[in-house]
């Protein structure tokens, strides 16, 4: 069922879909393919993207998903489960490919999905991304993208005290051909703290990569 709501002074659709009996709520706005899929971080929701949906929607149809709550002590299990939901969501859209944007835990989710389905990912954008504690697993996950040929943009807040910028630099070093943008005087959530610069950076990357 679709209802109407207002985010960032623009009308967008607020909808829900059932994926194997799991309800997933989302916002969608804009037009143009391939679509952009926004995946939030831990304990967040689709509304955290309300400063971005309208701007990104000027170039592509943009979806912001609210991940259902999952009570499990393992963040890794949660990330894998959310990646499966992203897979089902994109399958329901019936599009050949999409740009996946993931913030914090959502970045890990986006990487898991892209590693499994690189043919379905036009480009991958990682924002202040959380990764497994296991450094070897980090290297394997990030290093795989050098061989997949998926365009990757990494964006980070210079003053992120939750996940240090050096993590973004390490991901950038591990993924050949990736791009890294660091926002000055910004913390863990660039898409909220500096939306104009963030939106412009993503739009530039997506258009340059013809995604």
173: number of Cβ within 10 Å: 11
Q: Percent of the chain scored above 70 by pLDDT? A: 91
* Average confidence (pLDDT) over 158-169: 95
Q: Say yes or no to pLDDT of 54 above 70.
A: yes
pTM of the predicted model as reported, rounded to 2 decimal places? 0.91
Q: Residue 60 carries which DSSP code?
A: S
**Residue 162: pLDDT over 60:** yes
Instruction: Note the pLDDT of residue 133.
Output: 61
Q: How many angstroms separate the first and last alpha carbons of the chain?
A: 29
The reported pLDDT for the residue numbered 179 is 97
Task: Check if the beta carbon of residue 47 is closer than 8 Å to that of residue 111.
Answer: no
Q: What is the DSSP secondary structure assignment for residue 67, as one 8-state letter?
A: P
Helix runs in the chain, H state only: 53-56, 75-93, 105-116, 135-148, 165-174, 190-193, 195-208
Mean pLDDT of all residues in the chain? 89
Instruction: Please give the domain boundaries of the chain with CATH numbers for all domains.
Output: 3-208 (3.40.50.1820)
Whether 155 and 181 have beta carbons less than 8 Å apart is answered as yes
């Amino acid at each position: 069922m679709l209802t109407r709501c207002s985010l960032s002074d623009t009308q967008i659709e607020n909808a829900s879909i059932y994926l194997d009996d799991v309800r997933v709520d989302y916002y969608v706005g804009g037009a143009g393919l391939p679509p952009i899929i926004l995946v939030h971080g831990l304990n967040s929701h689709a509304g955290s993207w309300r400063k971005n949906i309208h701007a990104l929607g000027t170039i592509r149809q943009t979806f912001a998903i609210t991940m259902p709550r999952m009570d499990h002590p393992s963040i890794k299990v949660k990330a894998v489960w959310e990646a499966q939901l992203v897979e089902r969501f994109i399958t329901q859209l019936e599009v050949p490919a999409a740009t996946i944007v993931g913030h914090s835990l959502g970045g890990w989710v986006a990487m898991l999905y892209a590693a499994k389905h690189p043919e379905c990912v036009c480009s991958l954008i990682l924002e202040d991304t959380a990764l497994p504690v296991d450094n070897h697993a980090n290297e394997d996950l990030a290093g795989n993208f050098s061989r997949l040929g998926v365009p990757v943009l990494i964006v980070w807040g210079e003053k992120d005290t939750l996940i240090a910028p050096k993590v973004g630099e390490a991901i950038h070093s591990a993924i050949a051909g990736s791009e890294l943008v660091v926002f000055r005087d910004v913390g863990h959530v660039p898409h909220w703290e500096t939306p104009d610069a963030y939106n412009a950076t993503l739009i530039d990357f997506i258009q340059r990569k013809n995604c």
